[in-house]
């Protein structure tokens, strides 16, 4: 019942897609504040900033408005702290556009507009900032059923704008063939009102059959990301810790391993092991450039992957070779770089219905290198390389076409071989927006080679290939 009400309110809360929707809100805000647009703002000094915040539901639209009482309107200071122009600053059109991008990136507004307006004195202007809230309480879901088997059922109740403070809190229910994950997630883009980012996740893993405790998944990230293109320095400290039992299964039945399938005496060892993973990195980041933006990062990291299985001694070596993932203890320096064109366009109804988003156009390239060293105490020497490149362009107004490629591999200097090779090719296209909406299509091609992590590739239910049973 709660999920149905949430979904209904979310649909009703989406503004109608019609010409002049944003302009009508802007004109109404100008009338409320008794302001006039300034057509020549460049070089003038900002003397005031006015913020007009619209509720999710408005009286002049054909929707009920009482649900507004169940929604926290975004606080004005949440809007103001994303602005790069303040009273006393000289107007800069690039900073005004970047401020609008910051607000749209929050994902809590259906509308964001910033407009220079006339002020009383010569050489002075004001800024009018107009926002309209999105319905923020969502029941998010992901599910897959194949031949009567539950491959996955994920339900997540999320408040995207807790108390109107742009904090996101979620409660998660994640049902899988043999396990159940329960817990919560929390995101704070402005920790303590400062330019600090916090993400936390804590999930308990339970056995689905009897509800007994099976392990945990946790994640913590504290960072100072780049809030604008003028910020020169940042940092990032991500951490992951998890410990639970992995059970490779098909249609709810645990798969088995036979070390010698040609032997008449069949051996069926369950493909089950205890998984432990811990990783933490500390990165310093630097940003330069305006037309073309370059970001560099460098730091240190520690990663540990362990896998333990209860296997008869005579089959242990074969099981470790053929089933268990490659285990390691890495202590390593890490460096990275990314480059992209400072060219953005606002799209609506692209990643989500009724949400405006800024998409970076032109080329983009990202590269990361990790180098575990035995001299630092690593269990092995290696090089882990990862990178991606893409190009995105608009067409026919607000249509979009995108092509991207990503690759990752681990180089072992002991045998001059690249392991865990992964290649992903992606194309995405979106038709121009119309009264009926838009059509968005995406195609992925994924290849793996020399995998040492025990990755289980499945057909059927996991990726929708017809003619195969669930997780064949």
pLDDT of residue 138: 93
In a domain, 37, yes or no: yes
Task: Give the number of domains in the chain.
Answer: 1
Residue 68 region, left (φ>0) first, then alpha (ψ -120 to 50), else beta? Answer: alpha
pLDDT at 82: 95
| Domain, as residue range, for 66 | 2-133
Q: Does residue 26 fall inside a structural domain? A: yes
Q: What is the mean pLDDT of residues 308-326?
A: 93
Task: Specify whether the CB–CB gap between 363 and 291 falls below 8 A.
Answer: no
Residue 165 lies in a domain: no
Q: Over 80: is that where the pLDDT of 470 sits?
A: no
- Mean pLDDT over residues 205-219, rounded? 95
pLDDT at 354: 67
pLDDT at 3: 39
Residue 423, in any domain of the structure: no
408, HSE (Cβ side, Cα atoms, 13 Å): 9
- Does 195 reside within a domain? no
Predicted confidence band at 363 (pLDDT cuts at 50, 70, 90)? very high
List pLDDT tens digits, range 136-177.
999 999 988 777 777 889 999 999 999 999 999 999 999 998
Query: What would the pLDDT profile of 425-444 be if each residue is shown by its tens digit?
Result: 999 999 998 888 889 999 99
**Do the Cβ atoms of 336 and 385 come closer than 8 Å?**
no
Question: Considering the domain boundaries, does residue 70 fall inside one?
Answer: yes
**Which residue in this structure is represented by tokens 């810790």?**
241
Residue 421 lies in a domain: no
* Cα 154 to chain centroid, rounded: 17
CATH number for the domain spanning 113: value is 3.10.20.310
Confidence of residue 196 (pLDDT cuts 50, 70, 90): very high
Confidence at residue 466, expressed as pLDDT on a 0 to 100 scale: 47
Domain contains 121: yes
pLDDT exceeds 80 at position 19:
no
Determine the distance from the C-alpha atom of residue 192 to the mean position of all C-alpha atoms in its chain, rounded to a whole number.
22
């Amino acid at each position: 019942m709660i999920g149905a009400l949430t979904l209904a309110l979310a649909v009703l809360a989406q503004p109608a897609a019609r010409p002049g929707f944003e302009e009508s809100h802007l004109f109404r805000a100008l009338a409320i504040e008794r302001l006039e647009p300034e057509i020549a703002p460049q070089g003038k000094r900002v003397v005031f900033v006015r913020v007009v915040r619209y509720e999710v539901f408005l009286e002049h639209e054909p929707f009920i408005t009482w649900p507004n009482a169940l929604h926290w309107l975004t606080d004005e200071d949440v809007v103001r702290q994303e602005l790069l122009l303040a009273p006393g600053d000289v107007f800069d059109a690039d900073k005004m556009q970047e401020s609008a991008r910051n607000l749209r990136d929050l994902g809590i507004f259906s509308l964001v507009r910033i407009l220079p307006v006339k002020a009383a004195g010569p050489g002075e202007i004001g800024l009018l900032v107009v926002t309209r809230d999105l319905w923020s309480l969502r029941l998010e879901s992901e599910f897959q059923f194949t031949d009567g088997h539950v491959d996955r059922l994920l339900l997540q109740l999320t408040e995207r704008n807790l108390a109107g403070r742009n904090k996101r809190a979620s409660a998660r229910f994640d049902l899988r063939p043999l396990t159940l994950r329960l817990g919560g997630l929390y995101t704070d883009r402005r920790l303590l009102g400062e330019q600090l980012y916090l993400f936390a996740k804590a999930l308990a893993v339970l056995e689905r059959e009897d509800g007994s405790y099976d392990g945990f998944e946790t994640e913590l990230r504290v960072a100072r990301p780049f809030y604008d293109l003028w910020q020169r320095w940042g940092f990032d400290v991500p951490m992951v810790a998890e410990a639970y039992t992995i059970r490779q299964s098909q249609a709810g039945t645990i798969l088995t391993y036979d070390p010698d399938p040609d032997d008449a005496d069949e051996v069926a060892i369950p493909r089950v092991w205890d998984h432990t993973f811990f990783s933490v990195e500390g990165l310093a980041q630097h940003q330069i450039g305006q037309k073309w933006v370059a970001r560099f990062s460098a730091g240190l990291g520690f990663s540990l992957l362990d896998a333990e299985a209860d296997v008869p001694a005579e089959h242990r070596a074969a099981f470790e070779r053929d089933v268990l993932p490659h285990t390691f203890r890495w202590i390593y320096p890490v460096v990275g770089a990314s480059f992209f064109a400072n060219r953005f366009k606002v799209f609506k109804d692209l990643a989500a219905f009724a949400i405006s988003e800024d998409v970076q156009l032109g080329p983009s390239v990202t590269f990361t290198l990790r180098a575990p060293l035995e001299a630092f105490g690593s269990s092995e020497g290696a090089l882990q390389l990862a990178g991606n490149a893409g190009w995105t362009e608009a067409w026919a107004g607000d249509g979009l076409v995108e092509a991207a490629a990503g690759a990752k591999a681990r180089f072992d200097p002991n045998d001059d071989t690249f392991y865990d090779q992964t290649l992903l090719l992606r194309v995405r296209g979106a038709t121009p927006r119309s009264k009926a909406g838009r059509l968005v299509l995406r195609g992925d091609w994924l290849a793996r080679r020399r995998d040492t992590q025990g990755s289980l590739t499945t057909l059927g239910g996991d990726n929708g290939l017809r003619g195969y049973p669930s997780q064949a």
